[in-house]
């Protein structure tokens, strides 16, 4: 259906773009009038198949992408046709015998193609969530450079096409299983963030994950602790937060899902601060349970004046994010391999709490986004295969461990595991991963 519709659109655009010549040659005036009306129709709804998309945003985005595809194909055909006609490739009565007619025909073709292009690109730019600022800017810049503009447009089309199909499949999946409420766990989910970010100030630390869990029946809370403090101090805040949730909701316990340093904070709260009686399970995501050896190296090589200047800068910024008493150096020091080794001797697992862990790795330095692609090689030197921040040997903790690895260039970074960039990765659906993670907790009775 989509292919036939696309072929029809291309034929119609070709016909209309060459209307002056066709009218002069064969007198198809009435057909041109009909073509203009149909042209308006396809610019409003270029692909009938897109009507089946489950959201208005995806319909607009999908139709915009279809217009861009039609634009590229028809522009190539019309350009070849026009050049061939200029050099006399057509019989008597063609545009080669009338330069004025050829110029008029060319201007009409440019106008027709411009309408199709701008209609498509505006729809895509206004509705796509995966293009991001980078590809929008690249598209604008490359739009003025021959050849490069076609390459950029091809990348935009590929990105948006994948987004439309990917997001629509997720909508269909959630619609089919809505009644099952597969994430409706016995105890609510407490999501505990890592270092240098807050849960829900300016943007959600966990990206699109919480909403996906809630669509499937989960009740979600956030840790709300400071973004940069020692493990002990953050653990105190988490323990207090857990008690607050239990007291105000009567839920008895919570299931903690903690990312990065949040896993260390949560383990401390469970083991040493009495939070174990309120915790059913702890799932750590890319947590450096055994620390980061590269952090030991950096702290040992930096002069005290450099450390203090860096800490002062970060602490000032973190206060604006909501921290009341940020301590950059304390947070970083507690992530070193030496600090984690000492802490692990004190922080023991509580038998009544179910522990499990998850980790991921980048395939090489260019796999992730800045700055994790920059730090990958440094971490790799000290800690081996890593996610851009944490070595894979540091991830495992508890009864069950899952390693997320994908083939190809992309890899899954420390930030990808919490949907930090809101990016759809072709080989790893982070939202569905968390849905299944929570669904498994539900099946285990948590």
pLDDT digits (tens, 9 = 90+) for 221-264: 999 998 889 999 999 999 999 999 999 999 999 999 999 999 99
Per-residue model confidence (pLDDT) at position 397: 98
Phi, psi of 277 (to 5 degrees): -70, -15
Beta carbons of 193 and 199 less than 8 angstroms apart? yes
pLDDT of residue 211: 96
Using the structure block, give the residue that is written with the tokens 């200029």.
86
Closest CA to 70 of 62, 58, 81: 62
The token duo for 151 is 């390459």
Burial class (CB in 10 A: 0-12, 13-18, 19+), 31: middle
Low-confidence ranges of the chain (pLDDT < 50): 91-94, 96
Predicted structure pTM score: 0.88
Q: What is the pLDDT of residue 22?
A: 66
Look at residue 92 in the predicted model and tell me its pLDDT.
41
Q: Are strands 200-201 and 203-204 parallel, antiparallel or unpaired?
A: antiparallel
Return the CA Rg of the chain. 29
Say yes or no: domain 184-443 is CATH 3.40.50.1820. yes
Among 172, 190, 155, smallest CA distance to 432 is for 172
In the chain, domain spans: 2-174, 184-443
Give the model confidence (pLDDT) of 32-42 as tens digits.
777 778 888 88
Contact by Cβ (8 Å): 287, 261: yes
Q: Could you tell me if 273 and 264 are in contact, meaning their C-beta atoms sit under 8 angstroms apart?
A: no
């Amino acid at each position: 259906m989509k292919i036939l519709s696309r072929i029809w659109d291309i034929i119609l655009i070709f016909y209309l773009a060459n209307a002056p010549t066709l009218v002069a040659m064969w007198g198809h005036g009435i057909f041109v009038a009909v073509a203009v009306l149909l042209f308006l129709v396809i610019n409003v709804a270029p692909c009938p198949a897109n009507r089946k998309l489950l959201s208005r945003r995806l319909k607009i985005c999908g139709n915009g992408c279809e217009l861009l595809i039609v634009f590229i194909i028809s522009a190539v055909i019309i350009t070849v046709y026009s050049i061939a006609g200029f050099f006399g490739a057509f019989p008597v009565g063609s545009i080669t015998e009338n330069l004025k007619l050829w110029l008029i025909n060319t201007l009409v073709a440019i106008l027709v193609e411009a309408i199709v292009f701008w209609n498509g690109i505006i729809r895509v730019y206004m509705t796509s969530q995966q293009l991001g600022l980078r590809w929008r800017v690249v598209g604008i810049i490359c739009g003025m450079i021959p050849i490069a503009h076609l390459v950029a447009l091809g990348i935009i089309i590929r990105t948006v096409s994948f987004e439309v199909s990917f997001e629509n499949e997720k909508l269909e999946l959630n619609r089919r299983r809505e009644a099952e409420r597969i994430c409706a766990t016995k105890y609510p989910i407490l999501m505990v963030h890592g270092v240098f970010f807050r849960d829900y100030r300016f943007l959600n630390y966990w990206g699109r994950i919480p909403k996906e869990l809630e669509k499937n029946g989960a009740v979600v809370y956030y840790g709300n602790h400071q973004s940069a403090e020692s493990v002990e101090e953050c653990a105190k805040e988490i323990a207090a937060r857990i008690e607050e949730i239990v007291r105000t909701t009567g839920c008895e316990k919570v299931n903690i899902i903690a990312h990065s340093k949040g896993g260390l904070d949560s383990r401390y709260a469970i083991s040493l601060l009495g939070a174990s009686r309120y915790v059913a399970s702890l799932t750590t995501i890319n947590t450096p349970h055994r620390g980061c050896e590269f952090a030991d190296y950096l702290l040992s090589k930096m002069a005290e004046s450099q450390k203090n200047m860096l800490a002062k800068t970060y602490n000032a910024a973190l206060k604006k994010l909501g921290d009341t008493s940020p301590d950059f150096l304390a947070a970083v020091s507690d992530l070193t391999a030496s600090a984690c080794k000492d802490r692990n001797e004190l922080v023991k697992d509580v038998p009544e709490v179910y522990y499990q862990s998850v980790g991921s790795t980048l395939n090489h330095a260019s796999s992730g986004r800045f700055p994790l692609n920059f730090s990958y090689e440094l971490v790799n030197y000290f800690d081996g295969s890593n996610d851009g921040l944490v070595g894979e040997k540091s991830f495992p903790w508890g009864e069950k461990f899952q390693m997320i690895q994908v083939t190809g260039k992309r890899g899954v970074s420390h930030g990808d595991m919490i949907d930090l960039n809101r990016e759809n990765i072709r080989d790893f659906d982070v939202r569905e991963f968390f849905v299944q993670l929570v669904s498994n907790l539900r099946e285990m009775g948590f």
